Amino acid sequence: MANVKLGKFMMADYAAEKPVGIGSTGELIYPKDLLKKKSAPMMFSAAMAAPDNRMKLALARLDLEPNFEIVLFGSEFRYTKDDLIKHIKDQTSMGMQFMDMEVNYSSHFSQQLLGTLPIPKSMPVIKPVNTKPEVPANMQLLPPTQLGLFKARVLFCENTTDPIIAPAANYRIKNVHPVFASRGFEVIALVGQSAIQKNFQSKATDLRVCYIGGTGHGSYTTFTGDQQTVVLKVGGYKPGVVRKEVIHFLSCQTARTLGPDTVAKGAYAYVGYDESYVVDLGNSDLYYACDSQFDISMANGRTVEQAVADTYAKYDVTISSVPGTSTAAFLLSNKNLIRSPVSGPSWGKKDTTLKLHVF
């Protein structure tokens, strides 16, 4: 697969040939046409709003894409390029979602080609914040050796037994858990068959747990663990399970209802996705690295608002590293599904940080 130069991008030759829009008479608009005109054609946006045109554009883009296989974190099935094309042609709900992903990314990519949207090349440097323990006045006579008794804990619930979820869980175990450990947090990891509700809720009520993360299947109201059994569900836990904690799950849909429910019961913040999270298996680590940025930034002392901004930046850099591709379209969709305190107070407080000690 050869690379070619297109505007400011070096990109796969097939991606450079994909259409990026629809003209006023329904004709497909290609990147070279866009660059020659140096502006979007007349009726470009209006034409792309028509359902038939959106389908035409999405199918034309997917047709040039090499074969791929995707998974959704709320489903046990895998889908190929041909499966998606059929869903779009049949106008199923899933087909309409993937049609929108391609069309929305086309608009994003067009703006980058025209220079109206920046093309990020690298992540900003994130320096760890060295925080000393804020020792209460009545405990300041404690010898330094005993401060370890108050070291903060982070709790992870990673589903490593489900074939769809396991690669993401294993990525986090390798790349996220050690960051918290190196910063001085005590890491509690529930993996495999231990990732169940009983273990999770007994550990989460520990007053030293300040952060909860994990990977699993999800719905609007429920996060699941081993064998898709319920770990955390609206109406199925006491406030003490989530009180004074920041929570981040890599799962489908949980940010819609479960996230705000945890905040209502005392969680400081919830960050997740409010619809289906998509991964194409040929580039899976790109997705997991983007999502994990939130955890890593929080471990390094950033506020929730800063960690969310870091996560957006990670997505933007990664999207620009695979220009014109369906991978970029799926990544952009995932980014747009993030819900957090930046989205509104229903998801908690933006200025929350993690402390290395809990008194």
**Residue 139 falls within a domain, yes or no?**
no
Euclidean distance between CA atoms 256 and 337, whole angstroms: 10
**Residue 357 falls within a domain, yes or no?**
no
Do 94 and 235 share a structural domain?
Answer: no
Do 83 and 30 share a structural domain?
Answer: yes
- Side-chain-side CA neighbours of 61 within 13 Å: the count stands at 34
Euclidean distance between CA atoms 69 and 80, whole angstroms: 4
pLDDT given at position 46 = 67
Question: Which tens digits make up the pLDDT trace of 228-279?
Answer: 999 999 999 999 999 999 999 999 999 999 999 999 999 999 999 999 999 9
Do 204 and 324 share a structural domain?
Answer: yes
Only one residue has tokens 């792309």, namely 48
Q: Which amino acid type is present at position 219?
A: S
Do 244 and 307 share a structural domain?
Answer: yes
Do 315 and 173 share a structural domain?
Answer: yes
- How many domains does the structure of the chain reveal? 2
pLDDT given at position 227 = 93
Do 296 and 186 share a structural domain?
Answer: yes
**Residue 136 falls within a domain, yes or no?**
no
Do 207 and 105 share a structural domain?
Answer: no
**Per-residue pLDDT of the chain in tens (359 residues, 90 and over written 9):** 789 999 999 999 999 999 999 888 889 999 998 898 777 776 677 677 888 999 999 999 999 999 999 999 878 889 999 999 999 999 999 999 999 999 999 999 999 999 999 999 899 888 888 777 888 888 877 887 787 788 999 999 999 999 999 999 999 999 999 999 999 999 999 999 999 999 999 999 999 999 999 999 999 999 999 999 999 999 999 999 999 999 999 999 999 999 999 999 999 999 999 999 999 999 999 999 999 999 999 999 999 999 999 999 999 999 999 999 999 999 999 999 999 999 999 999 999 999 998 88
**Residue 359 falls within a domain, yes or no?**
no
Task: Write down which residue in 62, 90, 114 finishes a domain.
Answer: 114
Q: Find the domain containing 191 and state its range.
A: 147-347
Question: Which tens digits make up the pLDDT trace of 12-56?
Answer: 999 999 999 988 888 999 999 889 877 777 667 767 788 899 999
CATH of the domain at 254: 3.40.50.1460
**Residue 290 falls within a domain, yes or no?**
yes
**Residue 172 falls within a domain, yes or no?**
yes
Alpha-carbon distances of 40 from 12, 100, 103, 185, 319, rounded to whole Å: 23, 19, 15, 51, 21
Euclidean distance between CA atoms 44 and 103, whole angstroms: 12
Euclidean distance between CA atoms 317 and 319, whole angstroms: 6
Do 214 and 159 share a structural domain?
Answer: yes
pLDDT given at position 139 = 81
b/e per residue, 327-345, with b = 16+ CB within 10 A? Answer: bbbbbbbbbebbbbbbbee
Do 323 and 222 share a structural domain?
Answer: yes
Do 220 and 336 share a structural domain?
Answer: yes
CB of 187 within 8 A of CB of 211? no
Task: Write down which residue in 114, 139, 161 finishes a domain.
Answer: 114
**Residue 331 falls within a domain, yes or no?**
yes
**Residue 124 falls within a domain, yes or no?**
no
- Side-chain-side CA neighbours of 341 within 13 Å: the count stands at 23
Do 329 and 260 share a structural domain?
Answer: yes
Do 255 and 187 share a structural domain?
Answer: yes
Strands 246-250 and 209-215: parallel
pLDDT given at position 12 = 96
